[in-house]
Amino acid sequence: MEPFYREFGDRLRLARQAKGMSQAEVAPGVGLSRTSVANIERGRQRMSIHLLMEFARILDVEPAGLLPPVHPEPEVKPDRRLRGLSATDQEPFLRIMRRARREQSDGDA
């Protein structure tokens, strides 16, 4: 399973749930079976660009909102010294760590 399709599927599922629709309700609107919608949401099934537009239309969202970012945030695990902090208190430190990782990888390119 490619990260792009997994992330797209997560975004699609969140948009569908926010609209209060089931996979079975979305499927006929985009010309797919419920199983295909489920597979797309799980990142198991690739799809054509026209389906992106159909999903966006049915869910009343911008197509770009369903697409993963071009440069995803690097995964950063909290340092052991941060483990005693709440997730809210950890976030500023993690943001700095992500930025440093991103700058490091940009320098390697």
Catalogue the long-range contacts made by 100-103 (C-beta closer than 8 Å, 24 or more residues apart): 101/74, 101/76, 102/71, 102/73, 102/74
Q: Which domain holds residue 96?
A: 73-109
Q: Does the pLDDT at position 74 exceed 70?
A: no
pLDDT band at 47 (very low <50, low <70, confident <90, very high): very high
| Total domains in the fold of the chain | 2
CATH of the domain at 37: 1.10.260.40
| 24 and 42 together in one domain | yes
pLDDT band at 82 (very low <50, low <70, confident <90, very high): confident
| 41 and 15 together in one domain | yes
| 41 and 87 together in one domain | no
Classify each residue of 70-85 as buried b or exposed e, where b means 16 or more C-beta atoms within 10 Å of its C-beta. Answer: eeeeeebeeeeebeee
| 62 and 77 together in one domain | no
Q: Does the pLDDT at position 46 exceed 60?
A: yes
Q: Is 66 or 100 the better-scoring residue by pLDDT?
A: 66
| 77 and 62 together in one domain | no
| 62 and 33 together in one domain | yes
